[in-house]
Amino acid sequence: MAKDHLWWQTGIIYQIYPRSFQDASGDGVGDLRGIISRLDHLQWLGVTAIWISPCFRSPMKDFGYDVSDYRDIDPLFGTLSDMDDLIAAAHERAIRVILDFVPNHTSDQHPWFSESRSSRDNPKRDWYIWRDAKPDGSPPNNWLANFGGIGWEWDEHTSQFYYHAFLKEQPDLNWRNPEVREAMLSVLRFWLDRGVDGFRVDVMYHLIKDEQLRDNPENPDWKEGAYPYSRLLAVYSQDQPEVHDVVREMRETFDEYDERVIIGEIYVPIPQLVKYYGTNNDGAHLPYNFQLLLQPWNARRIGAVIDEYEAALPDGAWPNWVLGNHDRPRVAGRVGRAQARVAAMLLLTLRGTPTLYYGDELGMDNVIIPPEKVVDPLGLTFRISRDPMRTPMQWDASPNGGFSAAGETWLPLSPDFAEHNVDAERDDAGSVLTLHRRLIHLRQSEATLMAGAYAPVHADGDVLAYTRRHDGDGFLVALNFGGHPQTVELDASLAGRVALSTHLDREGDAVSGSLALRPDEGVVIRLG
């Protein structure tokens, strides 16, 4: 163990999309008791923390990212006492529990919004962002909603617009209002008091908007047919300087407790991203780094982005890497099944906390959802649905892949579930699941991989190579991002033995002078 590091630095986070992990109640939707029943799998896999996407009371317009009560579990997922049991059962297995905090917006069914919209002089009116129409009746500015159309909704009853960065059923809270801050920070305390180990904070970079609500400028690179929200550059509607004050207040709340983690969901370029660490270790512990999701899958590009990120990290900041989540196409679909193994090796050998998305350990792919089964609001408006990466976990070859006893599941399973599932891959020495488990166990048993320094090693073309070093120990990682054999020339200091190959063979082979990589192969070499 790297003893002077905290659990969220040395650990591996596993994201659970609760609708799709395990259904214990038999209604076709996953739930908390289902998660409890699968904790043994996660312990076997070796992950040390789970982050559960929102499971709070919600009308589910955005599948839980529209919360109507932050202090209760939605009946679809179970009860508060199920959550208490889940926390206890995870902790018994030394697995930490991270929940999902959605502070930018509530559901329009939240009692706060009902009050706010009831009259212009309601005490909670200012808890949301209300503005008059322009004299010609048009919205207060040109801001767009992420999920389509303009970001302003007209309220007939009080004759004003309210702002929503996502669906109109997700009105944005006004984080400039101190009462909002207090109310939301007390939600955090409610859960931290219950034993939750941390929060992933939804769209942290959206929390504060320009005080004058200035128009966003046009994006000169936007083309007809591209994602409509990108037509404007969100210069005034997100990533405002004052957001860092809010993050600092959240951090202060976390610091009232021992060793809790605050993770920010932030889609901004690296120079702005690292500002979310704060100025003096007073920001988010882990501003999520999505570069592996966003960059083209190319050894040179990925190498450059790792270097840029490593160089940009402020003193004392702990890095992190994400390869998949519930909003982005599955890695197996993006880079192909063979390269997904290389990607797993990259994720699990880089410096910084890795986050693994459920099912990626099986090589789950994006699943084609027939048009009549599309449920994601983004899919219904733009046809860029996130349903394909949210399909039920594939546990075994039984009906519904062991996910649910219901006749029909909320999203269909992948047609390949009988072949790609935990049961089939678990004891298969060459499976992608075995590769993940071996990588996780290697990382978790080696302080050098958990905490060692990162240094790039010169390589060309499709090969990315780097070392991790700590206390005199070292590993070399060499990854072939292409479908052709490659040879890497190594200087004398980089001799060693293969600890793991993505092909799950050649273990223990000596390596010195030059290293031959097969197509789509990555290797971890123990130096010395």
Active-site annotation, residues: 202, 256
CB contact at 8 A, 63 and 74: no
* Sheet strands side by side (includes 160-163): 130-131, 160-163, 152-155
Q: Which is nearer to ligand GLC, 167 or 196 (CB)?
A: 167
SS3 456: strand
Q: Which is nearer to ligand GLC, 326 or 351 (CB)?
A: 326
Q: What is the DSSP letter of 2?
A: -
Measured from the CB of residue 327, what is the shortest distance to ligand GLC in angstroms? 5
Q: What would the DSSP string read from start to end of 405-450?
A: -SSS-SSPPPTTTTTSSHHHHHT-TTSHHHHHHHHHHHHHH-HHHH
Q: Which of 327, 416, 423, 473 binds ligand GLC (CB under 6 A)?
A: 327
Cα torsion 420, 440, 509, 422 to 10°: value is -20
Q: Render the burial of 160-192: b for 16+ CB within 10 Å, e for the rest.
A: bbbbbbbbbbbbbbbbbbeebbeebbebbeebb
CB atoms within 10 A of CB 5: 14
If binding is defined by CB under 6 A, does position 376 make contact with ligand GLC? no
Measured from the CB of residue 504, what is the shortest distance to ligand GLC in angstroms? 33
Measured from the CB of residue 13, what is the shortest distance to ligand GLC in angstroms? 15
Q: Which is nearer to ligand GLC, 261 or 266 (CB)?
A: 266
Report d(CA 144, CA 267) in Å as an integer.
Answer: 17
Burial of 245 from C-beta contacts in 10 A (0-12 / 13-18 / 19+): middle
Q: Which is nearer to ligand GLC, 282 or 327 (CB)?
A: 327
Q: Which is nearer to ligand GLC, 184 or 463 (CB)?
A: 184
Measured from the CB of residue 202, what is the shortest distance to ligand GLC in angstroms? 5
Cα torsion 124, 126, 127, 128 to 10°: value is 120
| Tokens 């799998």 found at | 41
Antiparallel, parallel or unpaired: β 496-501 and 510-511: antiparallel
Q: Which of 62, 172, 197, 365 binds ligand GLC (CB under 6 A)?
A: 62
Measured from the CB of residue 78, what is the shortest distance to ligand GLC in angstroms? 21
Percent helix / strand / coil, the chain, rounded to 5: 30, 20, 50
Interface residues for ligand GLC in 84-113 (CB under 6 A)?
A: 102
Antiparallel, parallel or unpaired: β 353-357 and 320-322: parallel
Q: Which is nearer to ligand GLC, 146 or 339 (CB)?
A: 146
Interface residues for ligand GLC in 203-232 (CB under 6 A)?
A: 203
Joined together, the tokens standing for residue 460 give: 């060309």
If binding is defined by CB under 6 A, does position 65 make contact with ligand GLC? yes
Measured from the CB of residue 104, what is the shortest distance to ligand GLC in angstroms? 7
Q: What angle do CA 35, 110, 255 make, to 5 degrees?
A: 60
Q: Which is nearer to ligand GLC, 49 or 203 (CB)?
A: 203
Q: What is the DSSP letter of 128?
A: B
Interface residues for ligand GLC in 129-148 (CB under 6 A)?
A: none
Q: Which is nearer to ligand GLC, 62 or 462 (CB)?
A: 62
Measured from the CB of residue 66, what is the shortest distance to ligand GLC in angstroms? 7
Q: Which is nearer to ligand GLC, 62 or 153 (CB)?
A: 62
Measured from the CB of residue 450, what is the shortest distance to ligand GLC in angstroms? 27
Report d(CA 411, CA 426) in Å as an integer.
Answer: 24
Cα torsion 302, 306, 309, 315 to 10°: value is 170
Q: Which of 70, 112, 161, 166 binds ligand GLC (CB under 6 A)?
A: 166
Site string for ligand GLC, 470-509 (x = CB under 6 A): ----------------------------------------
CB contact at 8 A, 373 and 412: yes
Site string for ligand GLC, 174-203 (x = CB under 6 A): ----------------------------xx
Measured from the CB of residue 252, what is the shortest distance to ligand GLC in angstroms? 24
Measured from the CB of residue 62, what is the shortest distance to ligand GLC in angstroms? 5
Report d(CA 149, CA 156) in Å as an integer.
Answer: 18
Q: Which is nearer to ligand GLC, 261 or 439 (CB)?
A: 261
C-beta nearest to ligand GLC: residue:
65
Q: What would the DSSP string read from start to end of 217-239?
A: PB-TT--TTS-GGGGB--TTTSS
What is the binding site for ligand GLC (CB under 6 A)?
A: 62, 65, 102, 166, 202-203, 265, 326-327
